[in-house]
Structure 1
Amino acid sequence: MNKDITHCLLCAQRIQAVISWRILLTKQFPPTICDRCMAQFEDSSCAFAIYKYNEAMKVYLHQYKFLQDIALAKVFRQQIHAHFRKERAIIIPIPMHPLKQIERTFSHVEELLKAACIPYIQLLEKTTTETQSTKNREQRIQVAPLFRLIAGRQVEYQDYLLFDDIKTTGTTLQHATTILLDAGAKNVRTFTLISG
């Protein structure tokens, strides 16, 4: 049975396969699932962090986020800039709920990107003021959708990269990824400053 597969074996959507010289010359197998379904599988090279969460990072995050020391956004600007300077995907920071942003006075994730002179756009808005840090793993996984698209914003069939300060269970990034993929993104990858 050598018939080419034209529809995704998981979601039955038409596969948008692009035949390139690279595919022809390297003798790759033709795709059997669509890009959207493939993006839902966790690849260790897709989720990346610069630092691990340790006591020093705990102190840094407390000072930066909760004591509102915005100058600390510059601490890791060289490392963030080095990682993102050649990035071709559209960078989207994980947003804060508007009420939380008023309370904290700034968006800590956006400030990290600003300090590193990294351009970004915001397509998402947070739907709840609840923080994930107060929940256990099971509660985080079962939470209602955390984000929605900002009214009037369009997601294009392009590559996107979600940026957050810390990843623990990955629930926040997964919720944001799902919203973007469902809205038409070609691919969504994630990157965090810290892995918890």
Structure 2
Amino acid sequence: MRWKEDEEWSGFLDRNYSIYEYNEFLKEFIARYKYRGDYVLAKVFSETVIEKLRTIKYDLISYIPLSQERLHERGFNQSEAIIKEAGKTPSGLLQRTHSEKQSKKSRQDRIHLPQVFQVKRDLDLTNKKILLVDDIYTTGSTLRHAAKVLKQSGAISISSLTIAR
């Protein structure tokens, strides 16, 4: 509700769909997947993601990108892997500049981040419905920053799908 009341951020992210509630089990599971490089765990989510994707209307499905440094550290993008394991072809619409890890920031710091996303050049997003995939919805800041640049590049609607919230 706070995002909708903020003039700077209202209207960029139309809706977030989360599959699971973020609890201690998922915290450990996602940490193992994301930070310890256990890529095969993306398969665990595939059936549920496939089912959820059937209920969402979109033209392009994309993911929250990692900076080159973070991608090198992890070896894969966890959000892109979720899309691929669900049998979809992700559109790499965004690029990200390197910044401090989100998990190390407070809620206030996450909300007041500088813009770290840019739409890749030569993409025509005019009137496209875009679905962004990410692993965890915490404050919504990451998804809203991404949605903002996509809307400013012509997309008509941006929704997101996260594994947990």
Q: TM-score, normalised by structure 1?
A: 0.74
Residues 1:39 and 2:18 aligned together: no
Aligned to 1:119: 89
Aligned to 2:47: 78
RMSD: 1.8
Pairwise CA distance, 1:164: 0.7
In 2, distance between residues paired with 1:87 and 1:49? Answer: 12
Pairwise CA distance, 1:68: 0.3
Aligned to 2:36: 67
Residues 1:129 and 2:99 aligned together: yes
Aligned to 1:177: 147
Counterpart of 2:45, as a letter, is F
Q: Secondary structure at the match of 2:100?
A: coil
| Structure number with higher relative contact order (C-alpha < 8 Å, ≥ 6 residues apart) | 2
Residues 1:94 and 2:43 aligned together: no
Could you list the runs of 4 or more consecutive aligned residues of structure 1 that deviate by over 3 angstroms after TM superposition?
37-40, 85-88
Q: How many positions carry a matched residue from both structures?
A: 156
Name structure 2 gaps, 5 residues minimum: 1-8
In 2, distance between residues paired with 1:194 and 1:88? Answer: 20
Structure 1 residues 47 and 88: alpha-carbon distance in aligned structure 2, compared to 1, 3 A threshold: closer
In 2, distance between residues paired with 1:161 and 1:152? Answer: 19
Retained in 2: the 8 A contact 1:147–1:175?
yes
Pairwise CA distance, 1:140: 1.1
Aligned to 1:30: none
Name structure 1 gaps, 5 residues minimum: 1-36
